[in-house]
Structure 1
Amino acid sequence: MTIQPDAPRHVVASSAEADTVLRRLAREGWTVRSGFALPDPSWDVGSSRLILHGRIADDDLETAQLAVLAAARGAGVVAVVAAESAAGRALVDDLTRLGPVNQEGDSNGSGGGGGSDVIASLIPEQRALLDRLASGDTIAAAAAAEFLSLRTANRRIAEARQLFGVRTTREAVLAYLRQRQRQPE
């Protein structure tokens, strides 16, 4: 299975925000389709540059699961859901396991460059790995402690480097520590 690293995943609060994101993605060459069910029988749909979108009701975990499955198969996802709802929390948690999720107002698709929202863009696995690296663990030790394969840990660290806009893991850890110190408790 190949997960497209550039397949956009957006969770927004309103249809207006979704329309803005969808228009931008259509201009970038993505094919936009309503609903989260994939008609294509092949597993990997990443090469088709398909964006599925729709509204997820507060308690509609089934539709949230369809959106996650579509993202896992390589499709982009734009979901309109209340982030504080059960379905919204489950959707964001599951999508972050696949990679970065752009949430309300983060429509540019990147957190990069060391901006103040970079830590918010990190998924929990990335934060845990960076915390362990900051305390002196190797990537292999951090991966084992977090119950991740070394390959997954390396991917998560590479994604974090990209978000921080740095080239080395050491620079990513230092940027993470600086950002974390600036955040209010």
Structure 2
Amino acid sequence: MTSPETPRYVLPSATDATVVLRRLARDGWTTREGFALPEAGWDVTGNHLVLFGRVPDLDTVQLVVLAAARGAGVIAIADAGGDIGRALIGDLSRLGPVRRDTDTPAAAPETGTVDQLAPEQRALLDRLANGETIAAAAAAEFMSLRTANRRIAEARKLLGVRSTREAVMAYLETRD
């Protein structure tokens, strides 16, 4: 499994990629062009390896996602608005956050408080804390599953956590 600081970028140009690659190299990452990894050893997280290159087709998307799943950092050059870029971002997002600009990630995200949650977010988190599934909580709150998932994602972001479980725990710890 990859660590939270493993870099995952989808950038529009080689120039943008070069900026990020230089910064990562200064930070001790080993950079290598291409997305194929050697067969030996599945988990390469500890190697501090970043693979980079253009992503012209869906076969390359699969290589990028596999490399990221194995713990390598990836810097993919692709049009985020095109079919290939959207597929790549969608698949990489399942593994963790994907950056689409050259800015350095913030050291710690600014977090909000439970008081800043919308009433429907609170209601969903209450139901999840009581053991309901997201689907059951959505139905009980008269909203679609998609809307419930969006509200919970917004709550996670506001609370500065990565998982729904962490959001529920943060909510329970700080609510009245």
TM-score under structure 1 normalisation?
0.65
- Which protein shows a greater Rg? 2
Name the Cα RMSD after superposition.
3.3
Size of the aligned set, in residue pairs, is 142
Match of 2:132 among 133, 141, 144: 141
Which structure 1 residue ranges, 5 or more long, are not aligned?
Answer: 116-130, 147-152, 175-185
For 1:7-156, what aligned pairs fall within 5 Å after superposition? 7-57=6-56, 60-105=57-102, 107-110=103-106, 112-113=109-110, 135=124, 136-139=126-129, 140-142=131-133
Flag the 1:74–1:137 CA change in 2: closer, same or farther, 3 A.
same
How big is each residue's C-alpha offset from its partner over 1:134-170, in whole Å with a ceiling of 9 and x where there is no partner?
5343155345667xxxxxx9xxx59x6247xx9x733
Counterpart CA distance in 2 for 1:109 and 1:28 is 13
Q: Is the 8 A contact 1:33 1:50 kept in 2?
A: yes
The alpha carbon displacement at 1:112 in A equals 1.9
Flag the 1:32–1:99 CA change in 2: closer, same or farther, 3 A.
same
Q: Is the 8 A contact 1:7 1:76 kept in 2?
A: yes
Same amino acid, percent of matched pairs: 44
Query: 2:116: which partner in 1?
Result: none
Counterpart CA distance in 1 for 2:9 and 2:170 is 27
Which structure 2 residue ranges, 5 or more long, are not aligned?
Answer: 113-119, 137-144, 146-151
TM-score under structure 2 normalisation?
0.68
The alpha carbon displacement at 1:56 in A equals 1.0
The alpha carbon displacement at 1:41 in A equals 1.7
Flag the 1:97–1:38 CA change in 2: closer, same or farther, 3 A.
same
Flag the 1:84–1:32 CA change in 2: closer, same or farther, 3 A.
same
The alpha carbon displacement at 1:109 in A equals 2.3
How big is each residue's C-alpha offset from its partner over 1:56-103, in whole Å with a ceiling of 9 and x where there is no partner?
12xx00001100000000000000100111110010000110011111
Counterpart CA distance in 1 for 2:123 and 2:4 is 26
Counterpart CA distance in 1 for 2:123 and 2:51 is 38
